[in-house]
Amino acid sequence: MVFLNTIIYYSHSSSLIHSCYPLLSLIPVYLLNWKSLPRPIIALSPMADMTDSAFCRVVRLAAGSVQLAAPKFELNNLAASCSLPAAGYPIMFREMVSSEAVVRGNEKTLGMTDIHPDERPLVQQIFGSEPATMAESARIIEAQHHPEGFDINMGCPVYKITHNFNGAALMKEPARATAIIKAMKAVITVPLSVKIRAGWSDKTECFEFAKAIEDAGADLITVHGRTKVQGYSGKSEWDVIRQAKEKVSIPVLANGDIHSPTLVPGALKQTGCDGVLIARGALGNPWFFRDTADVLAGKEPVHITLEERIRVVLMHARLHAEQHGQGGITTLRKHLSWYFKGQPGVKEWREKMMKMTTLEELEEVLGQMMGVTVLVRRTS
Ligand SMILES: Cc1cc2nc3c(=O)[nH]c(=O)nc-3n(C[C@H](O)[C@H](O)[C@H](O)COP(=O)(O)O)c2cc1C
Protein backbone atom coordinates (compact mmCIF):
# COMPACT_ATOMS: atom_id res chain seq x y z
CA MET A 1 0.00 0.00 0.00
CA VAL A 2 1.53 3.30 -1.03
CA PHE A 3 0.30 6.54 0.41
CA LEU A 4 1.65 10.01 -0.27
CA ASN A 5 4.94 8.48 -1.25
CA THR A 6 5.12 6.94 2.18
CA ILE A 7 5.24 3.19 2.17
CA ILE A 8 3.21 1.49 4.82
CA TYR A 9 4.68 -1.58 6.38
CA TYR A 10 3.61 -3.37 9.49
CA SER A 11 5.54 -3.69 12.65
CA HIS A 12 5.06 -5.91 15.67
CA SER A 13 5.01 -3.85 18.82
CA SER A 14 4.42 -4.21 22.50
CA SER A 15 2.98 -0.68 22.49
CA LEU A 16 0.29 0.42 24.90
CA ILE A 17 -1.89 0.69 21.81
CA HIS A 18 -2.32 -3.05 21.97
CA SER A 19 -3.75 -2.99 25.43
CA CYS A 20 -6.33 -0.48 24.18
CA TYR A 21 -6.87 -2.17 20.82
CA PRO A 22 -6.39 -5.89 21.40
CA LEU A 23 -7.29 -6.77 17.80
CA LEU A 24 -4.43 -4.65 16.54
CA SER A 25 -1.48 -6.98 16.70
CA LEU A 26 0.20 -5.10 13.89
CA ILE A 27 0.69 -1.35 13.68
CA PRO A 28 0.91 0.38 10.32
CA VAL A 29 4.13 2.34 10.11
CA TYR A 30 4.78 4.78 7.31
CA LEU A 31 8.22 5.21 5.85
CA LEU A 32 8.53 8.95 5.92
CA ASN A 33 10.87 10.38 3.33
CA TRP A 34 11.03 14.16 3.62
CA LYS A 35 12.85 14.47 0.30
CA SER A 36 10.30 12.58 -1.77
CA LEU A 37 7.02 13.50 -0.07
CA PRO A 38 4.78 15.34 -2.54
CA ARG A 39 4.93 19.12 -2.19
CA PRO A 40 3.70 21.11 -0.46
CA ILE A 41 4.21 19.28 2.83
CA ILE A 42 1.50 20.36 5.25
CA ALA A 43 2.02 19.54 8.91
CA LEU A 44 0.62 20.23 12.36
CA SER A 45 3.19 22.06 14.49
CA PRO A 46 4.10 20.66 17.93
CA MET A 47 2.38 22.55 20.74
CA ALA A 48 2.88 21.59 24.38
CA ASP A 49 -0.35 20.60 26.15
CA MET A 50 -2.25 21.01 22.88
CA THR A 51 -1.05 18.57 20.22
CA ASP A 52 -1.61 15.48 22.34
CA SER A 53 -2.91 12.23 20.90
CA ALA A 54 -6.57 13.28 21.24
CA PHE A 55 -6.08 16.52 19.30
CA CYS A 56 -3.96 14.83 16.61
CA ARG A 57 -6.79 12.32 16.11
CA VAL A 58 -9.35 15.10 15.84
CA VAL A 59 -7.18 16.90 13.27
CA ARG A 60 -6.84 13.71 11.29
CA LEU A 61 -10.58 13.06 11.35
CA ALA A 62 -11.46 16.64 10.47
CA ALA A 63 -8.89 16.65 7.65
CA GLY A 64 -10.54 13.61 6.10
CA SER A 65 -14.05 13.45 4.70
CA VAL A 66 -15.51 12.76 8.12
CA GLN A 67 -19.27 12.86 8.03
CA LEU A 68 -19.55 15.76 10.39
CA ALA A 69 -23.23 16.09 9.64
CA ALA A 70 -23.88 12.49 10.73
CA PRO A 71 -26.99 12.46 12.91
CA LYS A 72 -25.36 10.66 15.81
CA PHE A 73 -22.45 11.48 18.02
CA GLU A 74 -20.94 8.01 18.14
CA LEU A 75 -17.26 8.35 17.79
CA ASN A 76 -16.86 5.00 16.07
CA ASN A 77 -19.27 6.02 13.35
CA LEU A 78 -17.31 9.16 12.74
CA ALA A 79 -14.03 7.31 12.70
CA ALA A 80 -15.36 4.59 10.42
CA SER A 81 -16.67 7.12 7.94
CA CYS A 82 -13.34 8.89 7.68
CA SER A 83 -11.57 8.45 4.38
CA LEU A 84 -8.23 9.96 3.65
CA PRO A 85 -7.89 12.59 0.94
CA ALA A 86 -4.83 12.60 -1.28
CA ALA A 87 -4.14 16.25 -0.55
CA GLY A 88 -4.10 18.12 2.72
CA TYR A 89 -3.26 15.02 4.71
CA PRO A 90 -1.14 16.55 7.43
CA ILE A 91 1.93 15.08 9.06
CA MET A 92 1.52 15.29 12.83
CA PHE A 93 4.27 16.75 14.99
CA ARG A 94 3.43 15.62 18.50
CA GLU A 95 4.07 17.94 21.46
CA MET A 96 7.58 17.90 22.94
CA VAL A 97 8.64 15.47 25.66
CA SER A 98 11.64 15.69 27.96
CA SER A 99 14.48 13.36 27.01
CA GLU A 100 15.52 13.15 30.65
CA ALA A 101 12.06 12.11 31.79
CA VAL A 102 11.93 9.40 29.10
CA VAL A 103 15.32 8.02 30.11
CA ARG A 104 14.28 8.07 33.79
CA GLY A 105 11.34 5.91 32.78
CA ASN A 106 8.72 8.50 33.76
CA GLU A 107 5.46 6.76 32.88
CA LYS A 108 3.45 9.91 32.26
CA THR A 109 6.05 11.17 29.76
CA LEU A 110 6.32 7.82 28.02
CA GLY A 111 2.52 7.71 27.84
CA MET A 112 2.62 11.01 25.97
CA THR A 113 4.59 9.29 23.20
CA ASP A 114 2.01 6.55 22.62
CA ILE A 115 0.50 6.74 19.14
CA HIS A 116 -2.99 5.83 18.00
CA PRO A 117 -2.93 4.38 14.45
CA ASP A 118 -5.20 7.21 13.22
CA GLU A 119 -2.47 9.75 13.91
CA ARG A 120 0.22 8.29 11.68
CA PRO A 121 2.43 9.44 10.08
CA LEU A 122 3.60 11.14 13.28
CA VAL A 123 6.84 12.84 14.28
CA GLN A 124 7.70 12.86 17.99
CA GLN A 125 9.44 15.98 19.23
CA ILE A 126 12.01 15.71 22.03
CA PHE A 127 13.82 18.39 24.00
CA GLY A 128 17.04 18.12 25.94
CA SER A 129 20.65 19.21 25.99
CA GLU A 130 22.71 16.06 26.54
CA PRO A 131 23.55 14.17 23.33
CA ALA A 132 23.66 10.76 25.04
CA THR A 133 20.34 11.34 26.85
CA MET A 134 18.66 12.64 23.71
CA ALA A 135 19.85 9.59 21.78
CA GLU A 136 18.77 7.15 24.48
CA SER A 137 15.33 8.74 24.79
CA ALA A 138 14.82 8.49 21.03
CA ARG A 139 15.93 4.86 21.08
CA ILE A 140 13.44 4.05 23.86
CA ILE A 141 10.55 5.83 22.15
CA GLU A 142 11.30 4.25 18.79
CA ALA A 143 11.43 0.77 20.29
CA GLN A 144 8.13 1.26 22.10
CA HIS A 145 6.00 3.39 19.80
CA HIS A 146 7.60 3.58 16.35
CA PRO A 147 6.98 7.21 15.42
CA GLU A 148 7.64 7.86 11.74
CA GLY A 149 10.20 10.52 12.62
CA PHE A 150 11.83 12.48 15.43
CA ASP A 151 12.14 16.22 15.80
CA ILE A 152 14.47 18.15 18.10
CA ASN A 153 13.15 21.26 19.79
CA MET A 154 15.70 24.02 19.25
CA GLY A 155 13.16 26.83 19.34
CA CYS A 156 11.33 26.86 22.66
CA PRO A 157 11.80 30.33 24.23
CA VAL A 158 10.47 29.56 27.73
CA TYR A 159 12.99 30.13 30.54
CA LYS A 160 12.35 26.80 32.24
CA ILE A 161 13.50 25.12 28.99
CA THR A 162 16.26 27.49 27.82
CA HIS A 163 18.07 28.00 31.12
CA ASN A 164 19.56 24.54 30.85
CA PHE A 165 20.77 24.64 27.20
CA ASN A 166 17.43 23.23 25.98
CA GLY A 167 15.16 24.59 23.26
CA ALA A 168 16.23 27.87 21.63
CA ALA A 169 19.36 27.99 23.82
CA LEU A 170 20.84 25.33 21.53
CA MET A 171 21.01 27.94 18.77
CA LYS A 172 23.71 29.61 20.85
CA GLU A 173 25.54 26.28 21.22
CA PRO A 174 26.05 24.94 17.69
CA ALA A 175 28.65 22.37 18.80
CA ARG A 176 26.24 20.91 21.35
CA ALA A 177 23.35 21.06 18.86
CA THR A 178 25.29 19.17 16.21
CA ALA A 179 26.51 16.61 18.75
CA ILE A 180 22.87 15.92 19.67
CA ILE A 181 21.92 15.43 16.02
CA LYS A 182 24.83 13.05 15.39
CA ALA A 183 24.11 11.04 18.55
CA MET A 184 20.44 10.66 17.70
CA LYS A 185 21.09 9.81 14.05
CA ALA A 186 23.39 7.01 15.18
CA VAL A 187 20.60 5.18 17.04
CA ILE A 188 17.33 5.88 15.22
CA THR A 189 16.12 4.33 11.99
CA VAL A 190 13.66 7.08 11.03
CA PRO A 191 14.27 10.64 9.75
CA LEU A 192 15.41 13.36 12.14
CA SER A 193 14.24 16.94 11.82
CA VAL A 194 15.07 20.05 13.81
CA LYS A 195 12.81 22.99 14.64
CA ILE A 196 14.64 26.30 15.04
CA ARG A 197 13.88 30.00 15.35
CA ALA A 198 15.17 32.86 13.19
CA GLY A 199 17.69 33.38 15.98
CA TRP A 200 18.07 34.24 19.64
CA SER A 201 17.75 37.99 19.16
CA ASP A 202 19.23 38.47 15.70
CA LYS A 203 17.14 37.26 12.78
CA THR A 204 20.13 36.27 10.72
CA GLU A 205 21.49 33.73 13.22
CA CYS A 206 19.51 30.93 11.62
CA PHE A 207 21.50 31.09 8.36
CA GLU A 208 24.73 29.63 9.71
CA PHE A 209 22.91 27.49 12.21
CA ALA A 210 20.76 25.86 9.50
CA LYS A 211 23.90 24.93 7.57
CA ALA A 212 25.48 23.44 10.71
CA ILE A 213 22.37 21.36 11.31
CA GLU A 214 22.36 20.11 7.76
CA ASP A 215 26.05 19.19 7.95
CA ALA A 216 25.39 17.27 11.18
CA GLY A 217 22.92 15.04 9.33
CA ALA A 218 19.44 16.50 9.91
CA ASP A 219 16.89 15.43 7.29
CA LEU A 220 14.61 18.46 7.52
CA ILE A 221 14.52 21.86 9.20
CA THR A 222 11.55 23.91 10.30
CA VAL A 223 12.23 27.62 10.66
CA HIS A 224 9.93 29.68 12.88
CA GLY A 225 10.51 33.21 11.61
CA ARG A 226 10.49 34.85 15.07
CA THR A 227 13.46 35.18 17.38
CA LYS A 228 13.60 33.68 20.87
CA VAL A 229 13.36 37.21 22.25
CA GLN A 230 10.09 37.79 20.37
CA GLY A 231 8.50 34.74 21.96
CA TYR A 232 5.12 34.33 20.30
CA SER A 233 4.42 37.94 19.45
CA GLY A 234 5.60 40.21 16.66
CA LYS A 235 5.89 39.09 13.10
CA SER A 236 7.27 35.83 11.76
CA GLU A 237 9.65 36.96 9.03
CA TRP A 238 8.90 34.88 5.98
CA ASP A 239 11.75 36.54 4.05
CA VAL A 240 14.20 35.36 6.71
CA ILE A 241 12.81 31.85 6.34
CA ARG A 242 13.36 32.10 2.57
CA GLN A 243 17.00 33.10 3.08
CA ALA A 244 17.53 30.20 5.51
CA LYS A 245 15.99 27.82 2.97
CA GLU A 246 18.44 29.09 0.34
CA LYS A 247 21.39 28.18 2.58
CA VAL A 248 20.64 24.44 2.71
CA SER A 249 19.75 21.63 0.36
CA ILE A 250 17.61 19.57 2.75
CA PRO A 251 13.86 20.30 2.82
CA VAL A 252 12.70 23.25 4.92
CA LEU A 253 9.27 23.95 6.41
CA ALA A 254 8.09 27.48 7.11
CA ASN A 255 6.43 28.29 10.42
CA GLY A 256 4.83 31.25 12.11
CA ASP A 257 1.86 33.47 11.33
CA ILE A 258 0.22 31.03 8.93
CA HIS A 259 -3.03 31.42 10.81
CA SER A 260 -5.51 30.85 8.00
CA PRO A 261 -5.61 28.35 5.10
CA THR A 262 -5.80 31.26 2.66
CA LEU A 263 -2.32 32.35 3.85
CA VAL A 264 -0.72 29.03 2.92
CA PRO A 265 -0.14 29.70 -0.81
CA GLY A 266 1.45 33.10 -0.02
CA ALA A 267 3.66 31.62 2.71
CA LEU A 268 4.85 28.90 0.34
CA LYS A 269 5.56 31.42 -2.40
CA GLN A 270 7.34 33.98 -0.22
CA THR A 271 9.48 31.47 1.67
CA GLY A 272 10.12 29.08 -1.25
CA CYS A 273 9.82 26.31 1.32
CA ASP A 274 8.86 22.68 0.81
CA GLY A 275 5.90 23.04 3.11
CA VAL A 276 4.43 24.65 6.16
CA LEU A 277 4.01 23.80 9.81
CA ILE A 278 0.68 25.06 11.18
CA ALA A 279 0.47 25.98 14.86
CA ARG A 280 -2.10 28.37 16.41
CA GLY A 281 -4.08 28.44 13.17
CA ALA A 282 -5.12 24.85 13.86
CA LEU A 283 -6.21 25.47 17.47
CA GLY A 284 -9.99 25.45 17.55
CA ASN A 285 -9.81 24.83 13.81
CA PRO A 286 -8.92 21.20 13.05
CA TRP A 287 -10.57 21.74 9.65
CA PHE A 288 -7.55 23.89 8.74
CA PHE A 289 -5.94 21.08 6.73
CA ARG A 290 -9.03 20.11 4.75
CA ASP A 291 -9.57 23.81 3.99
CA THR A 292 -5.92 24.15 2.95
CA ALA A 293 -6.38 21.29 0.47
CA ASP A 294 -9.38 23.16 -0.93
CA VAL A 295 -7.51 26.45 -1.16
CA LEU A 296 -4.56 24.79 -2.88
CA ALA A 297 -6.98 23.18 -5.33
CA GLY A 298 -8.47 26.62 -6.08
CA LYS A 299 -11.72 25.85 -4.26
CA GLU A 300 -13.58 27.81 -1.60
CA PRO A 301 -13.18 26.24 1.85
CA VAL A 302 -16.40 24.74 3.22
CA HIS A 303 -18.12 26.92 5.83
CA ILE A 304 -18.09 25.30 9.27
CA THR A 305 -21.52 25.65 10.85
CA LEU A 306 -21.91 25.97 14.59
CA GLU A 307 -23.58 22.56 14.60
CA GLU A 308 -20.54 20.94 12.97
CA ARG A 309 -18.28 22.75 15.40
CA ILE A 310 -20.23 21.36 18.35
CA ARG A 311 -20.11 17.82 16.95
CA VAL A 312 -16.32 17.99 16.56
CA VAL A 313 -15.90 19.48 20.04
CA LEU A 314 -17.91 16.58 21.40
CA MET A 315 -15.75 14.10 19.52
CA HIS A 316 -12.64 15.87 20.82
CA ALA A 317 -13.97 15.83 24.40
CA ARG A 318 -14.57 12.08 24.25
CA LEU A 319 -11.11 11.39 22.82
CA HIS A 320 -9.61 13.72 25.43
CA ALA A 321 -11.37 11.85 28.24
CA GLU A 322 -10.22 8.56 26.70
CA GLN A 323 -6.61 9.76 26.82
CA HIS A 324 -6.54 11.74 30.06
CA GLY A 325 -9.28 10.05 32.06
CA GLN A 326 -12.43 11.66 33.43
CA GLY A 327 -10.37 13.68 35.90
CA GLY A 328 -8.35 15.18 33.08
CA ILE A 329 -11.31 16.69 31.23
CA THR A 330 -10.76 20.15 32.72
CA THR A 331 -7.57 20.41 30.66
CA LEU A 332 -9.81 20.52 27.59
CA ARG A 333 -10.89 24.05 28.58
CA LYS A 334 -8.02 25.70 26.73
CA HIS A 335 -9.13 23.94 23.54
CA LEU A 336 -12.75 24.98 24.17
CA SER A 337 -11.83 28.63 24.31
CA TRP A 338 -10.09 28.30 20.93
CA TYR A 339 -13.09 26.46 19.41
CA PHE A 340 -15.57 29.15 20.42
CA LYS A 341 -13.34 32.22 20.15
CA GLY A 342 -15.13 34.88 18.10
CA GLN A 343 -18.20 32.70 17.48
CA PRO A 344 -21.30 34.86 17.68
CA GLY A 345 -24.07 34.06 20.17
CA VAL A 346 -22.15 31.54 22.29
CA LYS A 347 -21.06 33.67 25.26
CA GLU A 348 -23.51 32.14 27.73
CA TRP A 349 -22.67 28.57 26.65
CA ARG A 350 -18.98 29.31 26.70
CA GLU A 351 -19.13 30.46 30.29
CA LYS A 352 -20.95 27.28 31.27
CA MET A 353 -18.39 25.13 29.44
CA MET A 354 -15.50 26.78 31.21
CA LYS A 355 -16.94 25.68 34.55
CA MET A 356 -17.40 22.02 33.61
CA THR A 357 -15.51 19.43 35.60
CA THR A 358 -16.83 16.23 34.03
CA LEU A 359 -17.41 14.97 30.50
CA GLU A 360 -21.11 14.54 31.30
CA GLU A 361 -21.44 18.21 32.24
CA LEU A 362 -19.79 19.25 29.00
CA GLU A 363 -21.93 16.85 26.98
CA GLU A 364 -25.02 18.36 28.56
CA VAL A 365 -24.04 21.92 27.63
CA LEU A 366 -23.10 20.85 24.09
CA GLY A 367 -26.34 18.90 23.79
CA GLN A 368 -28.34 21.98 24.85
CA MET A 369 -26.39 24.12 22.40
CA MET A 370 -26.99 21.61 19.64
CA GLY A 371 -30.72 21.56 20.41
CA VAL A 372 -30.83 25.32 20.21
CA THR A 373 -28.85 25.58 16.97
CA VAL A 374 -30.89 22.86 15.26
CA LEU A 375 -34.08 24.59 16.36
CA VAL A 376 -32.85 27.95 15.08
CA ARG A 377 -31.88 26.40 11.77
CA ARG A 378 -35.26 24.68 11.33
CA THR A 379 -37.30 27.75 12.10
CA SER A 380 -35.19 30.23 10.16
C1 LIG B 1 0.58 26.66 23.35
C2 LIG B 1 1.81 26.49 22.49
C3 LIG B 1 2.67 25.44 22.75
C4 LIG B 1 3.81 25.26 21.96
N5 LIG B 1 4.62 24.18 22.20
C6 LIG B 1 5.63 23.90 21.33
C7 LIG B 1 6.38 22.70 21.43
O8 LIG B 1 6.11 21.81 22.27
N9 LIG B 1 7.41 22.53 20.57
C10 LIG B 1 7.73 23.46 19.61
O11 LIG B 1 8.67 23.25 18.83
N12 LIG B 1 7.02 24.57 19.47
C13 LIG B 1 5.97 24.81 20.30
N14 LIG B 1 5.21 25.94 20.11
C15 LIG B 1 5.50 26.83 18.98
C16 LIG B 1 4.66 26.48 17.74
O17 LIG B 1 4.89 25.17 17.30
C18 LIG B 1 4.96 27.46 16.61
O19 LIG B 1 6.31 27.37 16.28
C20 LIG B 1 4.63 28.90 16.98
O21 LIG B 1 3.40 29.00 17.66
C22 LIG B 1 4.60 29.80 15.74
O23 LIG B 1 3.59 29.45 14.86
P24 LIG B 1 2.18 30.27 14.80
O25 LIG B 1 2.50 31.73 14.66
O26 LIG B 1 1.51 29.69 13.56
O27 LIG B 1 1.43 29.96 16.04
C28 LIG B 1 4.09 26.15 20.91
C29 LIG B 1 3.21 27.22 20.66
C30 LIG B 1 2.08 27.39 21.43
C31 LIG B 1 1.15 28.54 21.11
Q: Is residue 165 exposed (0-12), middle (13-18) or buried (19+ Cβ within 10 Å)?
A: middle
Same domain? For 139 and 172 the reply is: yes
281 lines ligand 1 (CB under 6 A): yes
Enclosing H/E stretch for 100: helix 99-103
Q: Which domain holds residue 368?
A: 306-379
306 lines ligand 1 (CB under 6 A): no
Lowest mean pLDDT among 2-6, 120-124, 147-151, 245-249: 2-6
Reference 197, options 182, 207, 183, 185; nearest CA is 207
Reference 301, options 322, 282, 287; nearest CA is 287
What was the pLDDT predicted at 118? 87
Question: Which residues lie below 8 Å from residue 36, measured CB to CB, with a gap of 6+?
Answer: 5
CB 242 within 8 A of CB 204: no
Same domain? For 247 and 354 the reply is: no
Give, for ligand 1, the residue of 97, 196, 280 to mutate: max count of ligand atoms closer than 8 Å to Cβ. 280
Q: How far is the CA of 256 from the centre of ligand 1 (A)?
A: 8
Res. 25: pLDDT tops 90: no
The model's pLDDT over 278-317, given as tens digits with 9 standing for 90+, comes to: 999 999 999 999 999 999 999 999 999 999 999 999 999 9
Same domain? For 354 and 292 the reply is: no
Same domain? For 71 and 149 the reply is: yes
d(CA 215, CA 279): 27
Res. 380: pLDDT tops 80: no
Task: Give domain status of residue 366, yes or no.
Answer: yes
Same domain? For 342 and 222 the reply is: no
What band does 379 get if pLDDT is binned at 50, 70 and 90?
A: low
- Averaged pLDDT, 356-361: 94
Beta strands 2-3; 6-12: pairing state: antiparallel
Lowest mean pLDDT among 6-15, 99-108, 279-288, 358-367: 6-15
43 lines ligand 1 (CB under 6 A): no
Same domain? For 317 and 204 the reply is: no
Atom of ligand 1 nearest to the CA of 278: 26
Enclosing H/E stretch for 375: helix 359-379
d(CA 322, CA 60): 17
119 lines ligand 1 (CB under 6 A): no
Give, for ligand 1, the residue of 96, 162, 232, 335 to mutate: max count of ligand atoms closer than 8 Å to Cβ. 232
Enclosing H/E stretch for 124: strand 122-127
Q: How far is the CA of 141 from the centre of ligand 1 (A)?
A: 22
Same domain? For 310 and 335 the reply is: yes
Atom of ligand 1 nearest to the CA of 195: 11
Same domain? For 197 and 315 the reply is: no
d(CA 212, CA 74): 49
Task: Give domain status of residue 1, yes or no.
Answer: no
The model's pLDDT over 75-131, given as tens digits with 9 standing for 90+, comes to: 333 333 333 333 457 999 999 999 999 999 999 999 999 999 889 899 999 999 999
Atom of ligand 1 nearest to the CA of 280: 27
- Averaged pLDDT, 67-82: 31
Res. 1: pLDDT tops 80: no
Mean pLDDT, the chain, integer? 87
Res. 74: pLDDT tops 60: no
Task: Give domain status of residue 116, yes or no.
Answer: yes
What's the distance, Cα to Cα, between the start and end of the chain in Å? 47
d(CA 187, CA 181): 10
Res. 258: pLDDT tops 50: yes
Same domain? For 153 and 69 the reply is: yes
Atom of ligand 1 nearest to the CA of 281: 26
Q: How far is the CA of 320 from the centre of ligand 1 (A)?
A: 20
d(CA 309, CA 313): 6
Same domain? For 265 and 133 the reply is: yes
Task: Name the closest-CA residue to atom 3, ligand 1.
Answer: 47
279 lines ligand 1 (CB under 6 A): yes
What band does 345 get if pLDDT is binned at 50, 70 and 90?
A: confident
Q: Is 298 left (phi over 0), alpha (psi -120 to 50) or beta?
A: left
Number of domains forming the structure of the chain: 2
Same domain? For 197 and 260 the reply is: yes
373 lines ligand 1 (CB under 6 A): no
**156 is an active site residue:** yes
Cis peptide upstream of residue 121 (ω within 30 degrees of 0): yes
Q: Which of 56, 156, 206, 273 is catalytic?
A: 156
